[in-house]
Structure 1
Amino acid sequence: MWPQMDQENLTNGVENNQTDCPSIDDFRNQVYSTFYSLITLLGLVGNGFALVVLIRTHRQSSPFHVYMLNLAVSDLLCVMTLPLRVLYYVKKGEWNQGDFLCRISSYALYVNLYCSIYFMAAMSVTRFLAIVFPVQNLRLMTENRARLVCLGIWVFICFSSSPFLMSGQLKDPVTNKFKCFEPPRADGVKRLVMLNYLSLVFGFILPFVVILVCYAGIIHTLLSRKHTARRNVGTGSKAIRMIVIVLLTFLISFLPYHIQRTVHLNFLSRTDTTCSEKIAVQKSVVVTLCLAAANSCFDPLLYFFSGEGFRNRMSSMRRSNMSNHADRLNQLKPITCAEFVEGQQLKPS
């Protein structure tokens, strides 16, 4: 369902076959290597810490907890492949990690991208039901059903993104160097345009509409039930924080990328473009894909500020660690002379 391409390298193939425009390789290599390194660091720290907290406090599980756990796993799987991209661009577009890792590193980025969108949609529906239909929510939203939803999302996204596993490393006939994330041939652009529209509708627009409908219902309910909202200040504030963080993630990461990808693919079909236009579009590819990959850095904010009891989970884990540490210290504490004498007196003769 998703286009069989890696957007970040649609900067060389088709356009350079049409005109000899200046290359943006230096710009591309510097931006990708810098931003992917930063995203890797922040993503590993933020999502790694969140995953530890969620696993250590699994006894306090809820449907929302299940979605947070799966979102953190998705983000970690993605950021663990980003160092391969960093290495590729540091070496100025030379791939030495083999065909399998080339396929996996491209595949993982897009699995994370669309899993994040769908998990956010599921979390929004969960919050919507909890606020708008609180009685029915107790019956509808259970942990087992949340796990089934997560399983369905994983299967759907992994299967839909499988075209990325079909293309691996390529050997450049000019330099004899292996390449990865390279663009398709010119004769495949029309097919990619069709595939892009499918992914745009089912991967972005549909879940985004669901999210907007849920948020409209939440806001309407909170405004119309003032007394109830006052009694449930915590639930309302968590919902508002989630709305703000999710919408910012969509506006910063997902929306620019999908708009630019659609514009770029249609731009490739034109023959009346100038070099300056092509360079501008190519650079926008680099910027928007970095923003899309950065979604894994925003998700820890979602756990901390809107997750059900996430900060309480952190406090509970901290208290548990302190208690365990105190117990170990008591076990290792040396015996005083008085305690030794008292123990000797208590021994049977």
Structure 2
Amino acid sequence: MENVTGGLQDNSSQCESIDDFRNQVYSTAYSLITVLGLVGNGFALVVLIRTYRQSSPFHVYMLNLAVSDLLCVMTLPLRVLYYVRKGDWHEGDFLCRISSYALYVNLYCSIYFMAAMSFTRFLAIVFPVQNLRLVTENRARLVCGAIWVVICLLSSPFLISGQKFDPITNKTKCFEPPPPGKSLKKLIALNYVSLMVGFVLPFLVIILCYAGIVRTLLSRTHAARRQRGTGTRAIRMIVIVLLTFLVSFMPYHVQRTVHLNFLSRGDTTHCENVSMQKLVVVTLCLAAANSCFDPLLYFFSGEGFRSRLSSLRQSMKASTMQRTDRRKPITASESGENQQLKTG
């Protein structure tokens, strides 16, 4: 941030630097997100892969969401190292670009996979007959493939910004905003595109789907309410997805837009910059934390996820018992009983 606040040194004595706050919060938050994200999504991925024979369209979306989250959290340790070293990047230009890119790919893939899961649940509840014909595993795979390709292509501008050497601090910088100028104007334009396409559009789809689901559930007759499983999963999904958007995605997108427009102004003070940057730190941590919230989606609203977990446990228990029986020595009495059975 030295580039942004370099012209405001006259006010710097009145406010503390953002560096200590940023380094402490990012290193702590990213470490925690890495551990929780690896454990939660790694466990979910094992369950989903081991029970792949019970596949469904919803299962396909959950699998892709878990892969997306894992790819993201695997790059977070590089950010932890950067902030533990107090903003000094040693890992090279390529990893700097990939780390930034992976975070945004995960963010928008997660949003679109949630939108696809919400639309799938909407069809299952509001149009159950058409759902059997329209929603198939192959179509779910095609949708996931399209999401990966489109998001990876649309996020490619984040590969443009790599490491930069800062002569003032004598450190190599990464993950820093551009200084005011042409690059900032391009970033503001890019922000509005990603805001509308990556957040507002899928969020509207999700809201419309949930409105349709709630309306259908409320208008069901008493006899139709016997299908409580689908309705309960839908309500759980609505709660978890909306909480993820309100806690993780919305604050980040709102604050990012405000911050970039704030940087384009020339009448800001150093204290105002520090306050704005602290909000950026907090909201970016919340955005990265979506990787920790997604396992809740699998467990509480995933189609048969808990039954998959139960069947996986039973199969593992059965295989363990079989191995134990093979290793167990045959006693003399058991041998005699076997001989009697053969001769009888």
* Band the TM-score falls in, shorter-chain normalisation: over 0.9
1:78 matches 2:75: no
Indicate conservation of the 8 Å contact 1:15/1:268, yes or no.
no
Indicate conservation of the 8 Å contact 1:113/1:292, yes or no.
yes
Indicate conservation of the 8 Å contact 2:5/2:270, yes or no.
no
Q: Bigger shift: 333-342 or 150-159?
A: 333-342
1:306 matches 2:296: no
Secondary structure class of the residue paired with 1:183: coil
Task: Indicate the residue corresponding to 2:214 in structure 1.
Answer: 219
**Aligned counterparts, 1:101-120, within 5 A:** 101-120=95-114
Distance 1:235 1:345 in 2: 54
Distance 1:154 1:171 in 2: 33
| Residues 1:202 and 1:84: Cα distance change in structure 2 (over 3 Å) | same
Task: Indicate the residue corresponding to 2:271 in structure 1.
Answer: 276
Task: Indicate the residue corresponding to 1:321 in structure 2.
Answer: 316
Secondary structure class of the residue paired with 1:227: coil
Q: Bigger shift: 57-66 or 268-277?
A: 268-277
Distance 1:227 1:346 in 2: 58
Task: Indicate the residue corresponding to 2:33 in structure 1.
Answer: 39
Indicate conservation of the 8 Å contact 1:132/1:218, yes or no.
yes
After TM superposition, give the deviation of residue 325 of structure 1 in Å: 0.5
Distance 1:31 1:302 in 2: 26
Equivalent of 2:177 in 183, 193, 197: 183
Distance 1:66 1:314 in 2: 16
Give the alignment's TM-score, normalised by structure 1: 0.93
After TM superposition, give the deviation of residue 192 of structure 1 in Å: 1.6
Distance 1:271 1:344 in 2: 95
Name stretches of at least 5 consecutive residues in structure 2 with no aligned partner: none
Q: Which amino acid aligns with 2:3?
A: G
| Count of equivalent residues | 338
**Aligned counterparts, 1:1-349, within 5 A:** 11-20=1-10, 21=12, 22-187=16-181, 188-227=183-222, 229-340=224-335
After TM superposition, give the deviation of residue 72 of structure 1 in Å: 0.2
Residues 129-152 of structure 1, C-alpha deviation per residue, up to 9 Å, x if partnerless? Answer: 000000000000000000000000
Give the alignment's TM-score, normalised by structure 2: 0.94
Q: Bigger shift: 93-102 or 271-280?
A: 271-280
Distance 2:342 2:119 in 1: 66
Distance 2:159 2:223 in 1: 51
Indicate conservation of the 8 Å contact 1:74/1:112, yes or no.
yes
Residues 105-160 of structure 1, C-alpha deviation per residue, up to 9 Å, x if partnerless? Answer: 11110000000000000000000000000000000000000000000000011011
After TM superposition, give the deviation of residue 104 of structure 1 in Å: 1.0
Secondary structure class of the residue paired with 1:54: helix
Q: Which amino acid aligns with 2:82?
A: Y
Indicate conservation of the 8 Å contact 2:33/2:73, yes or no.
yes
Q: Bigger shift: 334-343 or 255-264?
A: 334-343
After TM superposition, give the deviation of residue 273 of structure 1 in Å: 2.1
After TM superposition, give the deviation of residue 101 of structure 1 in Å: 1.1
After TM superposition, give the deviation of residue 165 of structure 1 in Å: 1.7
Indicate conservation of the 8 Å contact 2:252/2:283, yes or no.
yes
Secondary structure class of the residue paired with 2:222: helix
Q: Bigger shift: 170-179 or 134-143?
A: 170-179
Residues 284-317 of structure 1, C-alpha deviation per residue, up to 9 Å, x if partnerless? Answer: 0000000000000000000000000000000000
Indicate conservation of the 8 Å contact 1:229/1:236, yes or no.
no
Matched-pair identity in %: 75
After TM superposition, give the deviation of residue 347 of structure 1 in Å: 10
Name stretches of at least 5 consecutive residues in structure 1 with no aligned partner: 1-10
